[in-house]
Structure formats: structure tokens, C-alpha cells
Amino acid sequence: MEDHQCKKFFPKPFQAETTLSEDGYPLYQCHDDGRRYEVHGQLVDNRWIVPYNLYLSVKYDCHINVKCAAHVHSIKYAFKYVHKGGDRATVQFHENEIANYVDGRHVGPLEALWRIYHYPVHKQEPSITHLQIHLPGQHMVLFNPEDSPETIRD
């Protein structure tokens, strides 16, 4: 409903018999038998009932909206859907690792280049000083890394 008006033009007027309107669309028979029901706070009578075929509803165990399609516009509409083909969608996939990296981290060009060339990213101050530790009964051994293992052992 929009502005208290049904988009499908319900309720339909009561009609003694089915006729064609000036624009070629059918106006279906709709008897006023006096029955009214309250549904969700709304009074409903035959004018609110969608046209249906009792035989098809029973056969297929579901509600089937049946309307006459005898006007040129109706036939054109039906053929449009018969010949339109299957559903389609245009989909595009992007395989770009750099774009994914930028999208994920928002790294600017300068920072990216800095990291590519392995420049230091941060500096620790004061610098770490290694303290010499030796255990009782043991002494510290200093050696030149270029010396052979035999020289270091002696």
C-alpha cells in the first residue's frame, strides 16, 4: 500500500458479470454476497479477493492468480517473458595482490618503498648495552670469528 491506496487497485468494484473495460482489460465478476471478515483490523469482502480458478487451486494445492490475457498489450507482455532468456549478471573479478595489500593496509608509496629497500622503520634509544656475565669457575672467552676452531680451542 502507498498512501492508503493499494498498488494493485484493490478493492475492485462489485460486478454482476465479467466485462471488458475500454482499454481492453477484463473487469471480473465480483458478487456482493454480504459476507465480510476482519483481517488485521481491515474489513475484507469479495472485492479484496484475487481472481482464482478453483480447479487449478485444488489440483496444484496452491493459490493460482488467473486472469484473462486477450488484449494486444497482454499478449506482448506474455511473449516478452517467454523469449527473454535466462537470468544474467555481469561479474568482474580482479586478481591484483598490490591492490589487495593497499586496500588492506593503506600503505602509501613512500612507506612501501622504504620497506621494499629494508630501511629501518623505527629506532630504539637508548641503544641496548650487552652486559658481560660469567658464572663462578668459568671465564669469558673472546675470539675472532675469522679464526679457525682449533685456534680458538687452544
The reported pLDDT for the residue numbered 63 is: 84
Lookup result for grid cell 663462578: 136
For residues 84 and 34, the model is more confident at 34
Q: What is the pLDDT of residues 11-69, one digit of tens each?
A: 888 988 988 888 777 788 888 888 999 988 888 898 888 888 889 899 999 888 877 66
- Strands (E) in 91-152, as ranges, are none
Residues, the chain: 154
What SS3 state is found at 103?
helix
The reported pLDDT for the residue numbered 30 is: 86
Domain boundaries, the chain: 19-82
The reported pLDDT for the residue numbered 59 is: 92
Claim: this prediction has a pTM higher than 0.95 = no
Instruction: Evaluate whether 18 touches 28 at the Cβ level (below 8 Å).
Output: yes
**Rounded to an integer, what is the distance from CA 38 to the centroid of its chain?**
38
The closest alpha carbon to 51, from 2, 7, 18, 16, belongs to 18
Share of the chain above pLDDT 90, in %: 5
